[in-house]
Every structure is written in structure tokens, then in C-alpha cells.
């Protein structure tokens, strides 16, 4: 996949500045949708008492994930280096199949479209899609 | 045959009955051409696709986006046999248009995002699941006659 251009990074940082205040809601919604629309993703959360999309565990986890995304925005100039320890966590401990990064990314984009319909233009969409793909790639870096 | 719950049927009928095809179609296709620029390969004779603004303003893109949505309408009206409904269209996309079937998924993701933006909070997780299931069946049926 292509690397992020300066234009992409600007678009991501600008859009993120607009939406970061709602990061927790975005994360919780995106995770809830992932569990609802792609039920196979629930297999990673068998340790939760309540795996329903609106459970407190799901909300908490959505927030955790989105905090990671926010961090990645600040490290956009070196995602591989910046996300090294997160990659090790996902590779050796969590062992989430990287196909699921794509699924969660899609749901993050859907939530952004819902919450920011006028700001989430096609140009912002492509920049965010590229960014999330680059993020996923950095997360999968240590897998093999 | 695909099994549809009452909720799924009602949801799909509801979404499409209220949809402005001439707005949503162009928005979805132009978004697809911007977000996944390699899809432009099929539209060499559409004129100016040079940047996002040009794509969004392009009247041929708008017309074709509307055409695609009206094509989706056929599946909405024949939910119990989408495969047969699209057999001919599948052959067309394979033999005449030579469209890589992976592109159907790209367009369907863009359509999901456009509809999500339009419906806002009403596009709940359950509604999204129904909508994406419907589009997945459409995508699969369109790819069925490729060989």
C-alpha cells in the first residue's frame, strides 16, 4: 500500500483536531458496530461476561482502542517506530488476525460519517482510510 | 437461498423507499472514484476525473451513479432471489465490462458510508448489519457468473 503524503497527513491532523473531542464516543460506537455487524469478532472477547455491543466492557475497550488511534495521529510521521510496543502486544500477546484491523477501520469510518457528515468529505475519507491502513500495517509489523 | 429476518426486510425496504437515488448514487460513485482511484480505470471516457472536485462535479459520474442505484433497486424488489435477478448483470460486468469483482465491495463500502452520513443516528448497528448483509448478497450475486 502507498505511504502517506504530506497532504494526507495534513488532512488527517486537521480532521482529527475537529473530532478528537468525541474520540471516546467514536471508539465506543465503532467497536459496538464491529461486534454487531461482524459477530465473528466477538471471538476475541470470550473473556468478557457481557459481549453485547453496548456492554460496559465494549465501551471501555472502544475507548482504549481510540486512545491508541489518537496516539498514532501524533506519531503519524513514524508509525512503525511509534507503534512498536503496540505491535509487539498485538503480535505476541493478543494475536488478533490482521484482517480484523480492516474491519474495525471500516467501522471507524462509518462512525465518522455519521457523526461528522459535512466534514467527512471524500478527500478526508481517503486520507483517513490511508492513515488507518498505515496504522494497521504498523500494528502488524511484528507478526512475522 | 438467503434467509431474511422481518427486521432485515423492513430495514432494506425502508432505507430504499426513502432514498434519493439521484443524490445517493452520484455521492457513492464519486466517493468510490476518489477513495479508491484505481476504480477510475473503468471510466476512461468519462472526461475530467483529475481531482476530487472534478470527479464530484462530473455529470457522467452523476448519471452513472444514479444508474447503479436504480440497478440496486432490482435487488430491493426481489430480495428472495437476488442471484437470479442479477444473473444477466453479472454476465454483463464479466464479459462486456470486464470489471474486477473486488470493485463491487469497494463501491458497496462507499455506499454504506454515504447512507450512514444521510441517516445519522438512525443508522444503528442493527441497521448497518442488515444493510451490509443486503449489499454482500448483491456483491456475491454480481460475481456469480464470472468464470
Q: Which of A63, A72, A71, A55 is nearest to A26 (CA)?
A: A63
- Work out the minimum CA distance from A53 to partner chain B, whole angstroms: 9
pLDDT tens track for B110-144: 999 999 999 999 999 999 999 999 999 999 999 99
The residue of B113, B130, B131 whose CB has the most chain A CBs within 10 angstroms, and thus the best one to mutate to test that interface, is B113
Kindly tell me if the per-residue pLDDT of A1 is higher than 90. no
Backbone angles phi, psi at B86, to 5 degrees: -100, 5
The pLDDT of residue B147 is 86
Residue-wise pLDDT for A124-139, tens only, equals 999 999 999 999 999 9
Nearest residue to A109 (alpha-carbon basis) of B143, B116, B133, B108: B116
Q: What are phi and psi of A11, to 5 degrees?
A: -60, -40
For chain B, list the domains and their CATH numbers: 17-143 (1.10.490.10)
Are B57 and B9 in contact by the 8 Å Cβ rule? The answer is: no
Rounded to whole angstroms, the Cα distance separating B86 from B112 reads 20
Q: Say what the pLDDT of residue A75 is.
A: 97
Distance CA A32, CA B128 (A): 11
Instruction: Say whether A117 and B56 touch across the interface (CB within 8 A).
Output: no
Whose CA is closest to A109, among A122, A96, A98, A99? Answer: A122
* Segment 102-121 of chain A within 8 Å of chain B by CB: 106, 109-110, 113-114, 117, 120-121
Sign of CA dihedral A48, A54, A60, A62: positive
- Topology annotation, domain A6-140: Globin-like (1.10.490)
Tens of pLDDT along A75-104? 999 999 999 999 999 999 998 989 999 999
d(CA B99, CA B39) in angstroms, rounded, equals: 9
d(CA B99, CA B90): 10
Question: Does the distance separating the beta carbons of B35 and A110 come in below 8 Å?
Answer: no
The structure's pTM equals: 0.91
Chain B residue with minimum CA distance to A39: B129
Which parts of chain B register pLDDT below 70? none
Compute the C-alpha angle A10/A15/A16, nearest 5°. 100
Q: Which residue has the higher pLDDT, B98 or A1?
A: B98
pLDDT reported for residue A2: 63
The span from the CA of A109 to the CA of A14, in Å, is 16
ipTM of the complex: 0.84
Q: Where are the domains of chain A?
A: 6-140
Amino acid at each position: 500500500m502507498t505511504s502517506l503524503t504530506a497532504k494526507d497527513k495534513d488532512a488527517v491532523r486537521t480532521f482529527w483536531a475537529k473530532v478528537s473531542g468525541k474520540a471516546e464516543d467514536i471508539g465506543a460506537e465503532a467497536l459496538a458496530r464491529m461486534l454487531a455487524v461482524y459477530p465473528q469478532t466477538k471471538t476475541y472477547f470470550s473473556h468478557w461476561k457481557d459481549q453485547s455491543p453496548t456492554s460496559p466492557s465494549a465501551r471501555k475497550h472502544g475507548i482504549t482502542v481510540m486512545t491508541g488511534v489518537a496516539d498514532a495521529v501524533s506519531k503519524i510521521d513514524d508509525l512503525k517506530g511509534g507503534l512498536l510496543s503496540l505491535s509487539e502486544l498485538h503480535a505476541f500477546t493478543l494475536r488478533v488476525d490482521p484482517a480484523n484491523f480492516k474491519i474495525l477501520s471500516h467501522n471507524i469510518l462509518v462512525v465518522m460519517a455519521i457523526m461528522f457528515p459535512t466534514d467527512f468529505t471524500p478527500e478526508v475519507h481517503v486520507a483517513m482510510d490511508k492513515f488507518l491502513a498505515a496504522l494497521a500495517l504498523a500494528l502488524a509489523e511484528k507478526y512475522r | 437461498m438467503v434467509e431474511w429476518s422481518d427486521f432485515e426486510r423492513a430495514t432494506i425496504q425502508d432505507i430504499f423507499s426513502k432514498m434519493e437515488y439521484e443524490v445517493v448514487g452520484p455521492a457513492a460513485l464519486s466517493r468510490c472514484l476518489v477513495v479508491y482511484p484505481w476504480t477510475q480505470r473503468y471510466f476512461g471516457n468519462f472526461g475530467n476525473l483529475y481531482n476530487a472536485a472534478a470527479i464530484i462535479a462530473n455529470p457522467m459520474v452523476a448519471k452513472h451513479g444514479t444508474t447503479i442505484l436504480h440497478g440496486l433497486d432490482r435487488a430491493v424488489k426481489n430480495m428472495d432471489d437476488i442471484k437470479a435477478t442479477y444473473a444477466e448483470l453479472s454476465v454483463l460486468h464479466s464479459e462486456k465490462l470486464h470489471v474486477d469483482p473486488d470493485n463491487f465491495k469497494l463501491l458497496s463500502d462507499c455506499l454504506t458510508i454515504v447512507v450512514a452520513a444521510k441517516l445519522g443516528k438512525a443508522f444503528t448497528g442493527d441497521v448497518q448489519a442488515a444493510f451490509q448483509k443486503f449489499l454482500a448478497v448483491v456483491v456475491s450475486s454480481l460475481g456469480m457468473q464470472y468464470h
